[in-house]
Structure 1
Amino acid sequence: MTAQQRLNKVLEFVTERGNVSIADVAEALDVSPATVRRDLNLLAQQRLLTRTHGGASALGSGYELPLQYKLVRQADGKAAIAKAVAGLVSPGDSVGLNGGTTTSEVARVLGSSERLLARGSTPGITIVTNALNIAYELSVREHVKIVVTGGVPRSQSYELVGPLVAATLREFSLDLAVLGVDGLTGRFGATTIHEGEAEVSRQIATVARRVVVAADSTKLGRTTFARICPLEQIDTLVTDLPPAADVGAALEAAGVEVIVAP
């Protein structure tokens, strides 16, 4: 386990339990109390948790973890989802991607796809994104044309938000929008934690002919603060496990195609 992976697990454990002792974390992760103490101090310095006497407490259920602390969560499921989403993309397509761990994985698969290589002077694929990490990672791929929206970056997610994003997106027509979400339910549709990111995702969906939500099973049946769109505006859901009965019924009623990644 790398230091980053251990910090991730420590932070997840604290977030899930709310309040923990150093002994609790040491036992759960099979590491020494001294290592836990150093990790908790480091995470407290980064304002990701609150240090207490003999342990730590979470900042709150609505707190959004920075992107780097989400990278290894549901990794196998996200990889499978990304491959399935890439299968929906044809050579020459224009694809809108919002930010997040799942869409970042989609970008990696698209960037390494031989099927989408450029033909002559035509790019193999055009990616329009508000996520700085996705743009940076794909900038070295010769077959990918990258278009980055304007906007102001959020340090939590590397996403650009604000009115400049919408001004950029209004000039485009996309074949496909691939959206990562934090929650998906029948009542509230697709949701995310930050209202600015919800608005950007909504704008990306508005200028796309097909809207695909890429979400692992932990997001299904969950609602977060800011609404992106109702289920009726989603064409396809790509996930890693079959939805629960109530979510599945809502998706079917809304006409959403469900693809379970193998």
Structure 2
Amino acid sequence: MTQQQRLNRVLELVSERGSVSIAEIGDALGVSTATVRRDLNTLAEQRLVTRTHGGATALGSGYELPLQYKTARQAEAKVAIARAVAGLVQPGDSVGLNGGTTTSEVARELGRSERLRSRGDAPGVTIVTNALNIAYELSVREHVKIVVTGGVPRRQSYELVGPLVGAALREFSIDTAVLGVDGLSAGFGATTMHEGEAEASREIAAVARRVVIAADATKLGRSTFARICPLSRIDVLVTDQPVSAELAAELAGSSVEIVVAPRS
């Protein structure tokens, strides 16, 4: 296990439990006490955890892993979801993408797609996004036209937030909005951890003719702090495992199509 993988796992443990001891981390990772101490010191220096005498605690109750530490979580599922989402996009379409690891995989899949390559002078696909990392990655793809909203970037997610996001988006009409979420439930619909990101995602959905939620199975049946939109605003859910009967019934009642992405 590399240091980056260890740091990812330590942050996951802190996120899940709120507080962990050095012994618990050592047992979970199979590493020495000295290694755990070094890793915790590294994370504390980066202000990602609060160091305690016997371990570490989360910075607050609304603890959110930074994007760079989420990339390894549910990786296979996210790649499968990205392929399925890309299959919903047609050449010449405009696609709105919010930030996150799943939508970043969707962006990569759109960027690699031979099917979506340009025909003549028109772009193969137009991506409208508030995510700086997505815009950066796709900027080298000749068949992709990138439009970036204004806004103020969040360190945790590389997403632009604030009133400039909506001001830019209201000038566009998008074929499909693809939104990554932190939770999807019958009671609260699509949710995320941060109210600014929720507002930005809501603005993307507002100018789209179709709203697609891209969420792995760990996000289903749970809700987080800030609502993006109710189920009634969602057209398609793309996920990696069959949905529970209860949630499936609620989705059907809101006319949400469910697509379960096959894993290769």
Q: TM-score range by the shorter chain?
A: over 0.9
Contact 2:190/2:231, CA 8 A, preserved across alignment: yes
Conservation of the 8 A alpha-carbon contact between 1:180 and 1:214: yes
Secondary structure of residue in 2 paired with 1:37: helix
1:215-245 CA distance string (max 9 Å, x none): 0111111111111111011000000111112
Q: Measure how far apart 1:60 and its partner are.
A: 3.6
Alpha-carbon deviations, 1:128-170, whole Å to 9, x = none? 0000000000000001000000111111110001111111101
SS at match of 1:56: strand
Unpaired runs of 5+ in structure 1?
none
- Give the ranges of 4+ consecutive aligned residues of structure 1 lying more than 3 Å apart after TM superposition: none
Q: Does 2:139 correspond to 1:171?
A: no
- State whether structure 2 residue 211 is matched by structure 1 residue 245: no
Superposition map of 1:92-107 within 5 A: 92-107=92-107
CA deviation profile, 1:76-134 (whole Å, cap 9, x unmatched): 11010000000000001000000001000000000011111111111110000000000
- The whole-number CA distance in structure 1 between the counterparts of 2:172 and 2:15 is 40
SS at match of 1:13: helix
Partner of 1:114: 114
Match of 2:234 in 1: 234
- Residue 248 (structure 1) shift: 1.2
Matched, 1:205 2:166: no
Aligned counterparts, 1:34-183, within 5 A? 34-183=34-183
Letter in 1 for 2:188: F
In structure 2, list runs of 5 or more residues that go unmatched: none
What is the rounded CA distance, in whole Å, between the counterparts of 1:17 and 1:201 in structure 2?
28
The alpha carbon displacement at 1:54 in A equals 2.3
Deviating more after overlay: 1-10 vs 251-260: 1-10
Give CA-to-partner distance per residue, 1:34-77, whole Å, 9 cap, x none.
11111001111222212111212223442111111111111011
Distance, in Å, in 1 between the alignment partners of 2:260 and 2:41 is 40
SS in 2 for 1:249: helix
Whole-Å separation in 2 of the counterparts to 1:15 and 1:120: 48
Q: Distance in 2 between matches of 1:124 and 1:194?
A: 32
CA distance in structure 2 between the aligned counterparts of 1:57 and 1:208, rounded to whole angstroms: 40
Count, aligned residues: 262
Instruction: Report SS of the residue matched to 2:6.
Output: helix
User: What are the superposed Cα offsets for residues 189-235 of structure 1, whole Å, 9 maximum, x if unpaired?
Assistant: 11111111111111111111111000011111111111111101100
